[in-house]
Amino acid sequence: METNKNDGTQTNKPLGADFFERSWEESWTYIKTVVDVMREPVLILDKDFHVMTANECFYQTFQVERKNTEKKSIYDLGNGQWNIPSLRKLLEDILPKNTFFKGFEVAHDFPSIGHKIMILNARQIHSEKFPAIIMLAMEDVTEMMAVAEALALHTNQFETKLMEQTEKLGVHLERLEKEMQELKKK
């Protein structure tokens, strides 16, 4: 509602484009602030999978610069290292189906940081009045997976050794039982 300064009457005025633009700017600032404080690398993609922004953790983790990331297709980042067919399928199903995914594991050899195992989560954020965006969060689980593999290896080695020792003990017990039976016969 708008009040006429001359006669004090109020009229309904349609919301202008500037209202939606201000609302989008405020929402975008809010989204970027939330993303910036996250500890995991995060990308915000537009509906065409171009990077709108990334948080500092993304730039540090993947050792890339903002100028080589923003406004680029996710599939073109790092000379195409993110052009992973199964990731492409997941991302391209998000917008049309208005869905999300959690826990998608990507193992990849990145040129600058080496072999990494990442768990990806993505969700579309949409509104009738604002452009749809996709938030893609990544968790580097490389070290955790290495620890899990080492633990599994040690567990297997321990089980093998335990079985060997149990077999040896069984052989000794059988021999002792035979000796005891021999002694009882005498």
Spell out the SS3 assignment of 44-104: EEECCCEEEEECHHHHHHHCCCHHHCCCCEHHHHHHHCCCCHHHHHHHHHHHHHCCEEEEE
Indicate if the pLDDT at residue 73 is higher than 90.
yes
Q: What is the pLDDT of residues 34-66, one digit of tens each?
A: 777 788 999 999 989 999 999 999 999 988 899
Helices (H) and strands (E) in the chain, counts: 5, 7
For position 162, what pLDDT does the model report?
84
Indicate if the pLDDT at residue 156 is higher than 90.
no
Reduce the DSSP state of residue 10 to 3 states and report it.
strand
Higher pLDDT, 179 or 31: 179
Q: What is the pLDDT of residues 132-151, one digit of tens each?
A: 889 999 999 998 877 777 77
Which CATH code for domain 2-140? 3.30.450.20
Higher pLDDT, 4 or 109: 109
0.75 exceeded by pTM: no
**So where are the chain's domains?**
2-140, 142-186
Q: What confidence tier does 11 reach under pLDDT thresholds 50, 70, 90?
A: low
Output the six-digit token pair for 52: 């709108």
Which of these ranges, 15-19, 83-87, 97-101, has the smallest mean pLDDT? 15-19
